[in-house]
Amino acid sequence: MPGRPALRLLALVLGLGLAAASGPARGAEPALTEWSELQAGLALDARAWEGRRLTLEGVLVGDFWRDLYLADPEGRPLPGLRVTSGEHTAELGDLLRVTGTLRVEPAGAALAVADPLRDLLPLREAGVRHQKSWAVRLGELIVEPGLWADRLVELGECEVARIRRDDNGVPWLALIAQGGDSLGVELNDGQHPALREGDRLPGLRGIFARRGEHWNLRPRSREDWLRIEGAARGERPPAREQAFRGRTSEPKVGGLWGKQPRASLLLDEVCYDPAGPGEGEGGESFAVVNAGSRKQRLDGWTITDNEGVWRFPAGLSLEPGAGFHIARSAERFTWEFGFPPDLALDRQPTPGDSLLVLDNGGDELLLLDERGRVVDALVWEAGWAEAQAGWTGRAAEPFRFNEYVAAEGQVLWRKRSLESGRRLDTNSAADWIGDPFDAELGMSLAYPGWDRARFLDTARCEETAEVTALVSPDNSFAGVRDFLRAARQSLEIETYLFTHAALADELVAAMERGVRVTMLLDGEVFGARGGTYDVVRAIARRIDEHPAGRGAVFLWRNGDDPRHTGMDADLPDRYNHCHQKFIIADRRRLLVGSDNFTQSSLPDDDKSEGTSGARGAFLITDAPCVVERAIAIWEADCDPNRQRDVQRFVSRAGLEERAPRPGGERTGYQPLHPAPYSAREAARFELSQSPDNALRPDRGTLGHLREAGRGDLVLVQQQYERAWWGYGEERAPNPRLEAYLAAARRGARVRVLLSGAGDDEDGAKNRLTRDRINALAQEEGLDLRIALGTLPGDRPGREAPIHNKLLLVKAGGAYWSHVGSANGSETASRLNRELGLSIDSQPLFAYLAELFTSDWLRAVGAGEDFAP
Residues 728-767: tens digit of each pLDDT: 667 788 999 999 999 999 999 999 999 998 765 667 889 9
Residues 255-292: tens digit of each pLDDT: 332 334 455 899 999 999 998 665 557 889 999 999 99
Q: How confident is the model at residue 386 (pLDDT cuts 50, 70, 90)?
A: confident
Q: What is the pLDDT of residue 663?
A: 84
Query: Who wins on pLDDT, 92 or 824?
Result: 824
Q: What is the pLDDT of residue 130?
A: 54
How far is residue 526's CA from residue 564's CA, in Å, rounded to a whole number?
Answer: 8
Q: What is the pLDDT of residue 547?
A: 93
CA angle, 759 then 764 then 767, to 5°: 120
Query: Who wins on pLDDT, 460 or 6?
Result: 460
Q: What is the pLDDT of residue 150?
A: 73
Query: Which of 785, 771, 773 minimizes the C-alpha distance to 115?
Result: 771
How far is residue 748's CA from residue 750's CA, in Å, rounded to a whole number?
Answer: 6
Contact 677, 466 (CB under 8 A): no
Q: What is the pLDDT of residue 167?
A: 55
Q: What is the pLDDT of residue 597?
A: 96
Highest mean pLDDT among 240-254, 336-350, 516-530: 336-350
Q: How confident is the model at residue 506 (pLDDT cuts 50, 70, 90)?
A: very high
Contact 804, 652 (CB under 8 A): no
DSSP conformation class of 574 = S
How far is residue 276's CA from residue 447's CA, in Å, rounded to a whole number?
Answer: 12
Q: What is the pLDDT of residue 16?
A: 30
pTM summary value: 0.73
Q: What is the pLDDT of residue 778?
A: 94
pLDDT of 522 strictly over 70:
yes
How far is residue 265's CA from residue 288's CA, in Å, rounded to a whole number?
Answer: 7
Which residue ranges does the chain devote to CATH 2.40.50.140?
32-126
Query: Which of 363, 361, 303 minimizes the C-alpha distance to 327?
Result: 303
In the chain, the N- to C-terminal Cα span, in Å, equals 39
Q: Is 537 exposed, middle or buried (0-12, 13-18, 19+ CB in 10 A)?
A: buried
Relative to beta strand 296-297, strand 285-290 is unpaired
Pick from 20-34, 104-118, 510-524: least confident:
20-34
User: Which CATH number is associated with domain 677-860?
Assistant: 3.30.870.10
CA 427 from chain center: how many Å? 28
Q: What is the pLDDT of residue 172?
A: 62
Contact 847, 745 (CB under 8 A): no
Query: With pLDDT > 70 as the criterion, what percentage of the chain qualifies?
Result: 82
Q: What is the pLDDT of residue 239?
A: 30
Residue 546 to residues 486, 490, 510: CA-CA distances in angstroms?
20, 16, 11
Would you say the C-alpha torsion 339, 345, 347, 351 has a positive or negative sign?
A: positive
Q: What is the pLDDT of residue 530?
A: 58
Q: Reduce the DSSP state of residue 253 to 3 states and report it.
A: strand
Q: How confident is the model at residue 79 (pLDDT cuts 50, 70, 90)?
A: confident
Q: What is the pLDDT of residue 83?
A: 86
Q: What is the pLDDT of residue 651?
A: 79
How far is residue 347's CA from residue 327's CA, in Å, rounded to a whole number?
Answer: 10
Superfamily covering domain 459-562+577-648 = Endonuclease Chain A (3.30.870.10)
Highest mean pLDDT among 7-16, 33-42, 369-378: 369-378
Q: How confident is the model at residue 20 (pLDDT cuts 50, 70, 90)?
A: very low
Q: Residue 116: which H helix or E strand, with range? A: helix 116-119
pLDDT of 165 strictly over 80:
no
pLDDT of 467 strictly over 90:
yes
pLDDT of 525 strictly over 70:
no
* Rounded CA Rg of the chain: 29
Fold of the domain spanning 32-126? OB fold (Dihydrolipoamide Acetyltransferase, E2P) (2.40.50)
Which architecture characterizes domain 248-448 according to CATH?
Answer: Sandwich (2.60)
How far is residue 685's CA from residue 817's CA, in Å, rounded to a whole number?
Answer: 10
**Amino acid at the residue 630:** A
Which residue ranges does the chain devote to CATH 2.40.50.200?
138-235
Q: Reduce the DSSP state of residue 432 to 3 states and report it.
A: strand
How far is residue 40's CA from residue 27's CA, in Å, rounded to a whole number?
Answer: 28
How far is residue 462's CA from residue 629's CA, in Å, rounded to a whole number?
Answer: 14
How far is residue 92's CA from residue 729's CA, in Å, rounded to a whole number?
Answer: 8
- At a CB cut-off of 8 Å and minimum separation 6, what does 239 contact? 307
How many other CB atoms are found less than 10 A from the CB of residue 182? 17
SS3 track for 194-239: CCCCCCEECCEEEEEEEECCEEEEECCCHHHHHHHHCCCCCCCCHH
Q: What is the pLDDT of residue 317?
A: 95
pLDDT of 202 strictly over 50:
yes
Across residues 817-822, what is the average pLDDT?
98
Q: Spelled out in words, what is the top-level CATH class assigned to the domain 138-235?
A: mainly beta
Which residue ranges does the chain devote to CATH 3.30.870.10?
459-562+577-648, 677-860
pLDDT of 629 strictly over 90:
yes
Q: How confident is the model at residue 114 (pLDDT cuts 50, 70, 90)?
A: confident
- The pair phi, psi for residue 182, each rounded to 5°, is -140, 155
pLDDT of 234 strictly over 70:
no
How far is residue 188's CA from residue 175's CA, in Å, rounded to a whole number?
Answer: 14
Q: Reduce the DSSP state of residue 367 to 3 states and report it.
A: strand
Helix axes 735-745, 761-780, angle to 10 degrees: 30
Residue count (the chain)? 868
Which residue ranges does the chain devote to CATH 2.60.40.1260?
248-448
Q: What is the pLDDT of residue 169?
A: 55
Query: Which of 700, 683, 682 minimizes the C-alpha distance to 691?
Result: 700
Q: Reduce the DSSP state of residue 597 to 3 states and report it.
A: strand
- The pair phi, psi for residue 453, each rounded to 5°, is -65, -40
Q: Is 100 exposed, middle or buried (0-12, 13-18, 19+ CB in 10 A)?
A: buried
Query: With pLDDT > 90 as the criterion, what percentage of the chain qualifies?
Result: 50
Residues 667-724: tens digit of each pLDDT: 889 999 999 999 999 999 999 999 999 999 999 999 999 999 999 999 999 999 999 8
Q: What is the pLDDT of residue 26?
A: 44
Q: What is the pLDDT of residue 205?
A: 73
Q: What is the pLDDT of residue 694?
A: 95
Residue 17 to residues 58, 95, 776: CA-CA distances in angstroms?
21, 17, 11
Q: What is the pLDDT of residue 363?
A: 92
* Mean pLDDT value across the chain: 82
pLDDT of 133 strictly over 70:
no
| Region for 517 from its dihedrals, namely left if φ exceeds 0, alpha if ψ lies in -120 to 50, beta otherwise | beta
> Cis peptide leading into 473, omega within 30 of 0?
yes
Query: Which of 462, 495, 485 minimizes the C-alpha distance to 601?
Result: 495
**Amino acid at the residue 156:** G
How far is residue 383's CA from residue 823's CA, in Å, rounded to a whole number?
Answer: 37
Residues 407-450: tens digit of each pLDDT: 989 999 999 998 888 999 999 999 999 998 888 899 999 999 99
Q: How confident is the model at residue 560 (pLDDT cuts 50, 70, 90)?
A: very low
How far is residue 71's CA from residue 165's CA, in Å, rounded to a whole number?
Answer: 31
How far is residue 237's CA from residue 684's CA, in Å, rounded to a whole number?
Answer: 60
Query: Which of 74, 103, 94, 75 minimizes the C-alpha distance to 16?
Result: 94
Q: Reduce the DSSP state of residue 42 to 3 states and report it.
A: helix
